[in-house]
Amino acid sequence: MKPKYVIALALVAGALLYLVLGGLGQNLVYFITPSEYFQQADRYQNRQVRLGGLVKEGSLDFSPKTLELRFVVSDGVKHVPVKSSGSTPPAMFGENRGVVVEGRFQGDTFVSQNLLVKHSETYTAPKDGWTPEQVRKLIEEAN
Amino acid sequence: MTPGLLGGIALVAALIFSVIGLVVILLAHFLKDRRYVDSAKRISTLALLAGLVSYGSLTWAILINDFSVSYVAQSSSIENPLWVKLVTPWAALEGSILLWALIQTAYTWLVSLRVGKSLDTWRAPVALGTLFAIQVFFFALIVFVANPFGVVPNPPPDGQGTNPLLQNHWMMAVHPVFMYLGFVGLSVPFAYAMAAMVSKQYQGWIFETRWWTLVAWGFLTAGIYTGKWWSYEILGWGGYWAWDPVENASLIPWLFATAFLHTGQVQERNGLFKSWNFGFITLAFAATVFGTFLTRSGVIMSVHAFASGPVGAWFLVFLLSVLALGLGMLSRVSSEIKDAGEVKWKSREGALLGGALLFGTFAFVVVLGTIWPLVVEAFSGAEVSIGAPFFNQVSIPLGILMLLLMGIGPILPWRNTGAQVKRNITIMLVALGIGTLFGQVLGLTIGVSLTMGLFAYNLAAIWLMVSQGVRERSSSLGIPAGQALWELASSHRRRFGSHIVHFGIALAALTIAFSQTYRVTEQRTLNIGETWQTQGMEIRLLSVTAREEANRFAALAPIEVRSISREGWGSDGVYQTRLNFYPQMDAPLATPVVKYSLYNDFYFVLMQFDQERGQWATLKIIVTPLVLWLWVAGFIIAFGTIYILWPGAARVSRHQMTPTVGD
């Protein structure tokens, strides 16, 4: 093979490698719980994350007219207020149920772009006195 | 005899026949006795029959609502309409693997019919042996790990029902079947490749399997397409591809198979690229198993995930064996199949290899993106996912390179370039420039403009190839151009078919660029009688009602849509937006109403409704350009594939025909 082809190929391969590895790093979306967020709040500012937890009882506020949805995601220990606008909550969405929201933190409010309620058919609500670990397990299983 | 008992017996019989078939064919290989080959052929027929009986019993059990059969109790219901019952066998894990195994027995049987014809007795044992071994794996899996014919001691009065997502659209009835026909079909070229490597006859298999590979590729393409279509019309998010792990699982084998289809042509022509071909077909087949592993094991979260269970681990073992066997054999024979000549990049061979490398790279990138979350989790413990932006970012440059090569490749002659080729490429590049500029003048984004340019460029390439061939033939034989075109198209089916497929791909790329760039989503809550003007439409909510249906409960919100400006053209009509509630699901399923038009595609989804008084409903509208043409492109690709495969094409010998440009 002629040297100029080798160089061209190496350039293409290099560009691809850069694209792929760079892309993998940038597009990692971390899945965290409210407690994990407060451990390293700076790290998760202004990047895409998935926040998982339960919708706190009594925190849900939705207006069908303005389509503005506010609620608090909790893992039993820490709580994060979530704001979502312009979309309707999915049908399985409700208080004391598992939810995963994808979006970004703006200050300590989480602005959701996407509500994921991929639910298992056999859902059980968490009981009082559960540890965050148990809650986390529940959330993961519900997804 | 109950269907459960009959099905269970037939299943065990199918496993036993497969094991006997494998043993007999191994004897044939080691004892070099062709009588064993004949017995194995008969056994493959028996295995197919046993598979059919087993599958038929499952359907029978579903039709007569026999809930003492575990699969029926878990996945069916008395209320299901007939068509849902007929597709229920592949609605859940156990049944779908049974269908898979049945299709495998059918392919094995079809290959056994070729023994003594195109498949000589020396290679037949290894090819059939590979297929029997795959079959043993599947039947053993069904019998021991995922048996649909488990006995339910106290049969319930009604089953738990079929997955509502499957019941919601007829497309779901065909999508899995196409997928399996494609996945399993790739086992045949893989088996032939193994036989070629064992018998050290490296050339013939490529001719014998080109039909098989194209059939499998065609089904895989159809499977991916119906999946996209289903996703678009059912899931209610307005898209057709989300880079979900399971979608990726179907794309990876498709990419490897496509690479193989291209490099295979070079080997057919001049015997080059043998190791590439062995490698690509091994990877393509392994990728089908990898896909199944992803879907069935629950290691990666996905919307499609089947219930996780012990099946996943077995698929992993199977995947590793396929890879070890295929790549191990390849490394053993690699010194014997070194390419004799060197390949010039500026030739058909070079372009085909370049294209195949792009497909291969793309496949590896998709694999990497799909399993990266597992890698990160293994090393850091953090739970992550890879978003669609990653895949889009990587697939755009790769897609552009592919479209460029797709135009150039067929126009380059074998071995070297010529003077006319330079002229042709200049014309194509001018088309590329004009198309891109045109897009810019229309005010489109640079990406969409470039895709328009590439579409024009590929159109120009096809036009040049066809018109020059026709002109040459009509002037040399003194016949009218129409007749020359007709004769060329019917004698060079493969070449014309590939033009059709390439045209379909270029059109699909164009529609993907448009629809991904210019999709608009809006939501609003309307009271009854209220109107909403948006996207060139005036939407009025007519009423909100509820209705009881046989297997579900539905909330209906009919709307009336009138177009008021150019953007809304084609949206006029009255549409029933609806939410379906299935008893086996807590959440309602939205059934989007899709109104296709030549340009914009209008998509109406009922999101919420006033459950107390029926006064209001929340609607989502999604307007996407050119989606109709994406489906048209799918039909064009299917047509091109069938055009190549249509019987009769093979009988015309290549040597009897006058050469055409670039052929």
B426 vs B94: CA distance, rounded Å: 56
**Mean pLDDT lowest for which of B120-124, B152-156, B291-295, B365-369?**
B291-295
- Cβ pair B425, B408 in contact under 8 A: yes
Which run of H or E residues covers position A7? Answer: helix A3-26
Question: Which of B295-309, B357-371, B431-445 is predicted least confidently?
Answer: B295-309
CA-atom Rg of chain B in angstroms: 27
- Chain-centre distance of CA B482, in angstroms? 35
- Say what the pLDDT of residue A124 is: 44
A48 to chain B: which residues are within 8 Å by CB?
Answer: 387
**pLDDT attached to residue B131:** 96
**Mean pLDDT to the nearest integer, A16-41:** 84
Q: How confident is the model at residue B646 (pLDDT cuts 50, 70, 90)?
A: confident
Residue A69 predicted with pLDDT over 90: no
Beta strands in B286-371 (DSSP E): none
Which domains are seen in chain B, by residue range? 3-265+276-296+355-368 (no CATH), 520-628 (2.60.98)
**Cα B71 from Cα B150, distance rounded (Å):** 7
In 10 A of CB B543, how many CB atoms?
12
Separation in Å, CA of A129 to nearest CA in chain B: 25
- pLDDT of B116-142, one tens digit each? 888 888 889 999 999 999 999 999 999
CB B194 within 8 A of CB B130: yes
**Which pLDDT value is given to residue B642?**
95
Residues B74-122: tens digit of each pLDDT: 888 888 888 889 999 988 888 989 999 999 999 999 999 998 888 888 8
Better-predicted residue by pLDDT, B350 or B455 = B455
Is the per-residue pLDDT at B305 higher than 50?
no
- Comparing A65-74, B149-158, B280-289, B492-501, which segment has the lowest mean pLDDT? A65-74
Does the structure show a pLDDT above 60 at B562?
A: yes
Indicate if the pLDDT at residue B243 is higher than 60.
yes
Nearest to B616 among A16, A31, A64 (CB): A64
For B83, B230, B238, B456, the CA distances from B174, given in Å and listed in that order, are 12, 10, 21, 34
Q: Is residue B363 within 8 Å of B283, Cβ to Cβ?
A: yes
Mean pLDDT of the B634-640 span: 96
B164-199 exposure pattern, b = at least 16 Cβ within 10 A, e = fewer: bbbbbbebbbebbbbbbbbbbbbbbbbbbbbbbbbb
Nearest residue of A to residue B581 by CA position? A91
Both tokens of residue B116? Answer: 């003594």
Q: How many helices (H) and strands (E) does chain B have?
A: 21, 11
Give the single-character DSSP code of A131. -
State whether A27 and B389 contact (CB < 8 Å).
yes
Say which residue, B165 or B364, is predicted with more confidence: B364
Q: Are A69 and A61 in contact (CB under 8 A)?
A: yes
pLDDT class for A39, splitting at 50, 70, 90?
A: confident
Interatomic CA distance for residues B571 and B598, integer angstroms: 11
Give the residue on B whose Cα is nearest the Cα of A22: B390
Would you state the pLDDT for residue B135?
A: 95
Give yes or no for residue B206 having a pLDDT over 60. Answer: yes
Q: How confident is the model at residue B309 (pLDDT cuts 50, 70, 90)?
A: low
Q: How far apart, in whole angstroms, are the C-alpha atoms of residue B485 and residue B467?
A: 8
The separation between CA B232 and the C-alpha centre of its own chain, rounded to angstroms, equals 16
Alpha-carbon span B470 to B37, nearest angstrom: 48
Q: Is the pLDDT of residue B299 over 70?
A: no
What average pLDDT score do residues B473-488 get? 90
Partners of B608 in the β-ladder: B618
Place of tokens 């300590």: A108
Dump the DSSP string for B76-97: --TTS-HHHHHHGGGSSHHHHH
Ramachandran angles phi, psi of B357, nearest 5°: -65, -40
Instruction: Give the chain A residue whose CA is nearest to the CA of B527.
Output: A65
Residues in B closer than 8 angstroms to A20, CB to CB, are: 365, 368, 394
Q: For chain A, give every domain's residue range.
A: 1-28, 33-142
Q: Which residue of A4, A7, A27, A33 is the best one to mutate when testing the B interface, meaning the one whose CB has the most B CBs within 10 A?
A: A27
Report the C-alpha gap between B181 and A44 in whole angstroms.
45
> B647 burial class (0-12, 13-18, 19+ CB within 10 angstroms)?
exposed
Is the pLDDT score of B150 beyond 80? yes
**Given an 8 Å threshold on Cβ–Cβ distance, is A24 in contact with B586?**
no
Residue B99: which residues within 8 A CB-CB, separation 6 or more? B55, B89, B90, B176, B177, B180
- Token pair 């088309």 in the structure block, residue: B431
Q: Give the model's pLDDT for residue B587.
A: 67
In the prediction, which pLDDT does B657 show? 38
Give the range among A114-118, B17-21, B538-542, B593-597 with minimum mean pLDDT: A114-118
Q: What is the pLDDT of residue B329?
A: 92
pLDDT given for residue A68 in this prediction? 84
Residues of B in contact with A26 (CB under 8 A): 389-390
Tokens linked to B616 = 């209001």
List the single residue in A with minimal CA-CA distance to B401: A12
Mutate to test the interface with A, among B75, B404, B525 (most CBs of A within 10 A): B525
Vertex B212: Cα angle to B208 and B213 (nearest 5) = 105
- Considering only alpha carbons, which residue of chain B is nearest residue A88? B607
Range in B19-23, B216-220, B574-578 with the lowest mean pLDDT? B574-578
Question: What's the pLDDT score for residue A142?
Answer: 47
Q: Is the pLDDT of residue B611 over 60?
A: yes
B357 CB neighbours in chain A (<8 A) are none
Inter-chain touch B618–A67, beta carbons under 8 Å: yes
**What pLDDT score was predicted for residue A117?**
63
Give the mean pLDDT of A78-87.
Answer: 84
Contacts of B586 in chain A (CB under 8 A): 91-92, 119, 121, 123
- Provide the pLDDT confidence category of residue B304 given band limits of 50, 70 and 90: very low
CATH superfamily to which A33-142 belongs: Nucleic acid-binding proteins (2.40.50.140)
The residue type of B332 is R
Residue B49: band (very low, low, confident or very high) from pLDDT cuts 50, 70, 90: very high
Q: How far is A75 from chain B (nearest CA, A)?
A: 16
* CA B428 – CA B434 distance, rounded (Å): 10
Range from A112-116, A121-125, B480-484, B594-598 carrying the lowest mean pLDDT: A121-125
Mean pLDDT, rounded, for A29-45? 85
A123 chain-B contacts, CB cut-off 8 A: 586
CB of B153 within 8 A of CB of B39?
no
pLDDT value of position A57: 84
Paired strand residues for A106: A109
* Residue where the block lists tokens 């009602």: B545
Distances (CA, A) of A75 to A39, A80, A94, A112, B367: 14, 9, 15, 17, 33
Q: Quick one: average pLDDT of B498-502?
A: 95
Is the model's pLDDT at B303 over the cut of 50?
Answer: no
Evaluate if residue B145 carries a pLDDT over 70.
yes
Residue-wise over B125-154: b if at least 16 C-beta within 10 A, else e? bbbbbbbbbbbbbbbebbbeebbbbeebee
> Measured between beta carbons, which residues in chain B are less than 8 angstroms from residue A69?
none
Mean of pLDDT over chain B: 88
User: In angstroms, rounded to a whole number, what is the distance separating the alpha carbons of residues B656 and B635?
Assistant: 32
Query: What does the pLDDT read at residue B297?
Result: 63
- In the sheet that B616-625 helps form, which strands lie side by side, from edge to edge? B520-527, B616-625, B600-609, B593-595
More confident residue, A85 or B426: B426
Are the C-beta atoms of A48 and A102 separated by less than 8 Å? yes
Residue B454 has pLDDT above 90, yes or no: yes
- Looking at chain B, the whole-number percentage of residues with pLDDT higher than 70 is 94
C-alpha B482/C-alpha B492 separation (Å) is 15
A91–B385 C-beta distance less than 8 A: no
Residue B648: predicted pLDDT: 66
Residue B314 is predicted with a pLDDT of 87
Judge: B386–A28 Cβ closer than 8 Å, yes or no. Answer: yes
* Burial of B405: CB neighbours in 10 Å, binned 0-12, 13-18, 19+: buried
Q: Shortest Cα distance from B266 to chain A (angstroms)?
A: 19
pLDDT over threshold 80, residue B164: no
CA distance B555 to B610: 10
Confidence of residue A120 (pLDDT cuts 50, 70, 90): very low
Closest CA to B254 of B293, B211, B231, B225: B225
Chain B closest CA to A29's CA: distance in Å? 5
Query: Does A137 score more than 70 pLDDT?
Result: no
* Strands of B345-401, DSSP E: 383-386
